[in-house]
Amino acid sequence: MLPLIIILVIAAILFFWVIGIYNSLVRLRNAVQNAWSQIDVQLKRRHDLIPNLVETAKGYMKHERETLENITKARNLAQNAESVGEHSQAEGELNQALSNFYVVVENYPDLKANTNFLQIQEELTSTENRIGFARQAYNDEAMHFNNKIEMFPSNIVAGIFRFTRQEYFEIEAPAEREVPKVSFS
Amino acid sequence: MWELIRANRRRSMVLVVVMLFILLLLGFILGGSLAPLFDGRYHDGYEYQAGDPIPGWHIDVAGGLIGMGFAFVLWAGQTFAAYFFGGKILLAVSHATPIRKEDHPQLWNVVEEMTIASRLPKMPAVYIMDDMGMNAFATGRDPEHAAVAVTAGLLGRLNRDELQGVIAHEIAHIKNRDVLFMTMVGIMVGTIVMISDVFLRTLWYGSLGRSRRYSSSKKDSGAGIIVILLVAIVVAILAPILARMIYFAISRRREYLADASAAVFTRYPEGLASALEAISKDTNRLRYANKVTAPMFIINPLHKEGKMALNLTSTHPPITERIKVLRSMAGGVSFAKYQEAWQKAQGRKAGHLPASALAEQEQPIRTAKKRDEQENEQTPRQRMREAGDLLRKVNEYVFLACVCGMRFKLPPDFKHDHVDCPRCRRNIEVPAAQMATAAAVGSMMSSDGDSQEDKNEFTRGAVMAGMLANRATPQRRQAQGIPTAKARQHQETQQAQTSQQASGQPFTVNLKPNERGWSTLKCPCGAVRNIGPSFQAKQTRCTRCGRHININFV
């Protein structure tokens, strides 16, 4: 009778221990997914800001139609991108178009002094920062999750329920490792 | 960081329990020693009889129990208040006002960025303190009910990266749940200090004074009573000191950890380092800081310049050391890196950071060059101006613009319906409806906000604006009410001509504002005028000779 009780107790403890680890794994995975969607939220925020930027700049930049069109084009591409590869390429093009734009802005002191433009500038700067911080937060969450599924003893539970590693967000070109540049000066 | 959050919760619990015992003890002693005062025999005309208990020299058990009852109610009340309203109370004590995004988009954005970087579930409320000193603090019971408050002086003098560093430090306090413990301690220690103060006063003025009159009562003052009295005094003196000690010893560690977290969140330790440097150089004292709120600020607001804070009672590590540690984190940021830098700066092996934080990966540092370029956009003068406008906005000032580019900021109790533009002498109508709502909100604020300083500020603004309006009156009388555009133009040219005749050629002067943004203007006629940081116009008129003066700021 006694051995049976002992076995039952041990089984119960094991059962609850597995439940606990399983739940914490799910919680961490959701945190990773949430962090990922945060990046998307911020990218969308940037897409929403760009029409405003172009609209404000149009009045001042009569001779830079092409630069502005490039920004709009890149933004539309980025917005409609579907696969991850397409997405990152389109965002890269958008960054390129924006930095061309900032170079040109130099020639328009009136535009640089416009309050509306300054506001959009602050919003864009902040959005670039947020994208950077959101990526940073995603990587931190992914690291916590990966640590959990690789470390003993939680790796046993992770193996049983097939939790897989989350990829880190890496930017290929070393120049782009930093937060994308927004420089109006 | 889980162990930190847990430790802060545990400490808060311990604090609440310890506070209960201290309060019960105080209540017993206070109630017991004061009970005879409520005794019927002690009315006016009472003659002392041998054997009667003397208030303050005799502990009455029943009275002590009643005192404990009161103490318990008080304890429950203050625990409840500290937990649910602690943040609000501390914000109110520091004269902080909530702002919206439109009031200062940059501050709002920086807080939001740091919320994302620190993965807080909800963005804390943003408050601004009406103070030209530079400081910031965070409060609230958990990340869902948190707030960060910064002074207008801080907003005015820090650039975006520095502001980000400061906000990251405050957000780190929220993230680590330091805010819960600090808020609880702030409120509860405040209460204890108050109660023991009351006790010492009653003992001093009440019973000692009395006992001199009853000097015949040798018989009653046995050894036991003296012991009780001694214990009472010791408790009353030691309780607040002990409570403070615990508080202080812990909060220095918190500051280091928050600095480390700020470096990790921003990936840019230099931001916080140069912000700390700027704050420590600032000479403005914070008006509304006191002993209870002081440990919550990013830099101790009561601390004197240059004094080394190395003793046990200092709440903050010396600023120079904090800056040194942050600056020596080269190559990458992580908690381990911070620890290493700290050990190098201190020259000893010791740690302030929890093990789980040290295990985290090192991250590349953000390069600063690009940001500096970008920062040229906004001059310190513009920033100062923005911060001033923000204060006026939250104080319900009405903003008006003149055609010539002059901007007016009218206090909510501004009474006149027209203002005269000091630059172009145009007469501008004050929008009555806007003023009325501003005045309503303003008076509501001053009736419950009730600070004398605020009122003074309002009146000062009103006097200045009134002066402007008065200057307009003779002109207006001349023009029979509100002048038509044509008449005004005519008047203007006439005026310009007379002043030209009176004082000859316009005069051009180069001004170099000092570091606070002030400069002195000297007119050839001998008149001297001091020009403040908010003065932006290119031209002015001498108040004595009426000559036009062109100003170039260098």
- Cα separation of B128 and A169, whole Å? 36
Q: What pLDDT, on a 0 to 100 scale, did the predictor assign at position A11?
A: 94
Q: What pLDDT, on a 0 to 100 scale, did the predictor assign at position B124?
A: 93
Buried b (16+ CB within 10 A) or exposed e, A20-35: ebbeebeebbebbeeb
Alpha carbon of B462 to those of B131, B244, B298, B397, B428: distances in Å?
A: 20, 44, 35, 11, 16
- Record the pTM: 0.68
Q: Give the B window 68-127 contacts with A, CB below 8 Å.
A: 105-106, 109-110, 112-114, 116-119
Q: What pLDDT, on a 0 to 100 scale, did the predictor assign at position B297?
A: 80
Chain-centre distance for alpha carbon A70? 23
Q: Residue B109 and residue A126: Cβ atoms within 8 Å? A: yes
Interface membership of B160 toward A (CB under 8 Å) = yes
Which listed CATH number (3.30.360.10, 4.10.110.10, 3.40.50.720, 3.10.660.10) goes with B502-554? Answer: 3.10.660.10
**Tokens 């607040």 belong to which residue?**
B240
Tell whether the model's pLDDT for residue B456 goes beyond 60.
Answer: no
Instruction: Indicate whether A145 belongs to any domain.
Output: yes
Tens of pLDDT, residues B152-177: 888 888 888 899 999 999 999 898 88
Tens of pLDDT, residues B313-330: 455 667 788 888 888 876
Q: Residue A126 and residue B112: Cβ atoms within 8 Å? A: yes
Residue range of the domain that includes A54 = 2-59+111-177
Chain B residues in contact with A31 by the CB 8 A cut-off are 119
Confidence of residue B378 (pLDDT cuts 50, 70, 90): low
Q: What is the DSSP track for B35-86?
A: GGGGSGGGSTT----TTPPPTTTS--HHHHHHHHHHHHHHHHHHHHHHHHHH
- Cα separation of B300 and B317, whole Å? 9
Instruction: Indicate whether A173 belongs to any domain.
Output: yes
Interface membership of B536 toward A (CB under 8 Å) = no
Q: What is the DSSP track for B353-403?
A: S-HHHHTSPPEEPPP-HHHHHHHTTS-HHHHHHHHHHHHHHHTTPEEEE-T
> Per-residue pLDDT averaged across A92-121, rounded?
81
Amino acid at B122: K
Please provide residue B12's backbone torsions phi and psi, each rounded to the nearest 5 degrees: -65, -40
H helices of B124-177, in order, are 152-157, 160-175
Query: Residue B1 burial by CB count (10 A; 0-12/13-18/19+): exposed, middle or buried?
Result: middle
Partner residues linked to B96 by β-bridges: B129
Tell whether the model's pLDDT for residue B376 goes beyond 70.
Answer: no
Tell whether the model's pLDDT for residue B125 goes beyond 90.
Answer: yes
* Mean pLDDT lowest among B140-154, B190-204, B525-539: B190-204
- Cα separation of A144 and A166, whole Å? 10
Instruction: Indicate whether A126 belongs to any domain.
Output: yes
Number of H helices, E strands in chain A: 6, 0
Chain B residues in contact with A143 by the CB 8 A cut-off are 360-361
Q: What pLDDT, on a 0 to 100 scale, did the predictor assign at position B257?
A: 84
If one counts the domains in chain A, the total is 1
ipTM over 0.90: no
Tens of pLDDT, residues B527-537: 777 887 777 77
**Which CATH number goes with the domain that contains A152?**
1.20.1440
- Cα separation of B524 and B549, whole Å? 10
Q: How many residues does chain B have?
A: 554
Tell whether the model's pLDDT for residue A10 goes beyond 90.
Answer: yes
Q: What pLDDT, on a 0 to 100 scale, did the predictor assign at position B406?
A: 76
- Cα separation of A47 and B211, whole Å? 81
Interface membership of A27 toward B (CB under 8 Å) = no
Instruction: Indicate whether A87 belongs to any domain.
Output: no
Please provide residue B521's backbone torsions phi and psi, each rounded to the nearest 5 degrees: -105, 125
- CB-nearest to B113 from A35, A126, A177 is A126
Q: Where in chain B are the domains? A: 2-37+52-364, 395-483, 502-554
* Mean pLDDT lowest among A162-176, B59-73, B460-474: B460-474
**CA-based nearest residue to B250, from B180, B319, B201:** B180
